Homo-oligomer: A and B are copies of this chain.
Amino acid sequence: MPTSTETDGQYGAPQRGPDPRAARSRAAALAAAQELLVEEGWSAVTHVAVAARSGVGRTTLYRHWPDAAELIRDAIALRIAGAHTAPTGDLREDLVRELEGLRALLHDPVSETGLRAVIERAGADPVFAELKESLYRNGSKVFREVLDGAKLRGGLPADLETDRAIDELAGPLMYRRLLAGRAFDGRYVRQVVDDFLRAHAAR
């Protein structure tokens, strides 16, 4: 990587036009950060280690990510945000689809390790606290829409607490993956949804 990259990166600031060298450096740095995160956890993602692995100069890294936590945030934020689909109105189908998004997140090495890092660091580091907050808000948004819609239409009891319902849907997947350390497939997801509906679907 030419040393000129050191002086012309414009990753964070509003850009006058796309700068392909800056974009390549940014991508290389974030890819190196993802690898280090997966291999050794967040504490291995330092400016020195990312520079050594990516070939991007430390000066450039420090300029764009003064704090290593911001570098980790950018390395995982897109992967961890997950893809959400628009609810169809079919309660079971909509819940299965949202949980399938969570299943994918929990089985992708970068987003899974990122989630573990977020859970650990949120208490001590404001960058991670904010990331956890937006992750939770984002991750529960479609569930909230789906559940509240079903309560309005009578598919779920009107007095069901939406927050607890989300815990009962997402919690088992998190527990199985992060605590029990086990993988699971679409069959497991459908069983969790069916158990949830057996407990709550309007009788």
A contact set with B: CB distance below 8 Å: 39-44, 113, 116-117, 119-125, 132-133, 135-136, 139-140, 161, 163-164, 166-168, 170-176, 178-182, 188, 191-192, 195-196, 198-200
Contacts and interface: CB of A to CB of B under 8 A. Distances in A.
Contacts of A113: 123
Chain A interface, DSSP helix/strand/loop, else mixed: helix
Contacts of A44: 124
Contacts of A124: 39-41, 44
Contacts of A40: 124
Residue among A122, A167, A191, A199 with max Cβ neighbours from chain B (10 Å)? A167
A19 B156 CA distance: 63
Given A119-B120, A168-B171, A171-B174, 4 more contacts: A41-B121, A116-B123, A161-B191, A164-B192
A42 B171 CA distance: 24
A192 B168 contact: yes
B163 A167 contact: no
